[in-house]
Structure 1
Amino acid sequence: MTHTDTLNTLSALRTALIERTEPTADLAERTAVVLTGAHARHLAGVADRHEARAAALYERIATHLGPRPIAAAAYVLAAQCAFLAADYRRTAALLAAAETHAARHGGDVPPLARLLKLDHRVSAHTAP
């Protein structure tokens, strides 16, 4: 993905977030490409001041990605946004979704998931 493609994807994500539109399958695919690339760290920045909505957006994108292993990373990204929104119960639920998805469809859960689970506010909502 070129730098321009990445910027266009980030812009489209921000527009979907602000306008509260349902992400298209195409946007989900483009997000998956960014998630696997060097610019994945910029995806959380799209949430700026709208973290709760971003968590919902990335969760819907994970759903669009279906059984592909990259969907687990989208769930963790959604969890990161929920954490930034101080919604620790939702963070725990999204992390559980990422782990369940990875167990069913293969792939790895990004290391950020372990870090988020270390926070006592998240671990309080994690099943033993």
Structure 2
Amino acid sequence: MSVSLIRRIATPKKALTTAAVAAATAGIALTSVPAQAATPTSATDAKTIAHQMIPDAAQFNAFSHIVERESGWNIHATNASSGAYGLVQALPASKMSSAGTDWKTNPETQIKWGLDYMNSRYGSPAAAWKFWQANGWY
């Protein structure tokens, strides 16, 4: 039995036990492999998610301009002096919890919160961008 076959076996305990016994019998050492994070975290991933959530090109571009200046599309961006956090630099950061409990690590949750904020405060991302251009903040 090859190691690659063992790694492809699903998580049911019986299947794992059978594979482990077979591997031990064949003299193969099993090692655990850490699970990969399911939440995308790269800037490209975040932009793709935002583009899916904001299909209107003008609104996406406005949102993107703000996020680029606020965080550089880094979901973990933290302002050392104010504590603002995430793609849209929420302050306090914990406000994003209203969009989901995974607000610290999930770009989709941060984008949802940012869109809700821009729409409720300014009417749209484009209006928020216009304000940002005039004031250097939003």
Q: As a proportion of its length, which structure holds more helix?
A: 1
| Max Rg structure | 2
TM surpasses 0.5: no
Q: TM-score, normalised by structure 1?
A: 0.26
State the TM-score, normalized to the length of structure 2.
0.24
